[in-house]
Amino acid sequence: MKRNLVPHYSEILQQKCEPVEFNNSEVMQDLVDSFKAGPMIGLSAPQIGINLQCSLCLFSTGLEIVANPEIEYLGKEIPSMERCLSFPHIVCKVMRNDKVKLTYFDSKWNKKEAILTGLDALIAQHEYDHLQGVTMIKKAVTKQFKRA
């Protein structure tokens, strides 16, 4: 079911999400349906009002469900100018690692590990932060934001 984005001031965006239970395909389908509604490269469950650790990421290898992720930071920190569906008119600078190891479950509940670099690493970290209750606004290097 397609869900609308929650407003940027919603408390759910500030909360750490609960793990997704095995075979919960409803949250995954809601993410897919909501993702199709507009151009984006990532969407996390709390952004559509679901307090579960699940995201949909458009990696260079394709669209991927990322459930119950863990991240290991491998690279060096680099500045990233980011936008977010939760803050549609803001661009801000955030420090991100240029290389990460992402461990997660996919849509068929296969456990996966991936070493991600470049834009894939940035997407994974941005969506992971949403699941931890951390928005790009909280991580911004400065509190001066640019309008998108």
Residue 18 appears among annotated catalytic residues: no
Q: Of 64, 70, 77, 127, which is the active-site residue? A: 127
Which burial class, exposed, middle or buried, applies to 27 when counting CB atoms under 10 A from its CB (0-12, 13-18, 19+)? buried
Written as one string, the DSSP assignment of 73-134 is: E-S-EEEEEEEETTEEEEEEEEEEESEEEEEEE-TT--EEEEEEEHHHHHHHHHHHHHHTT-
* Catalytic residue annotation: 127
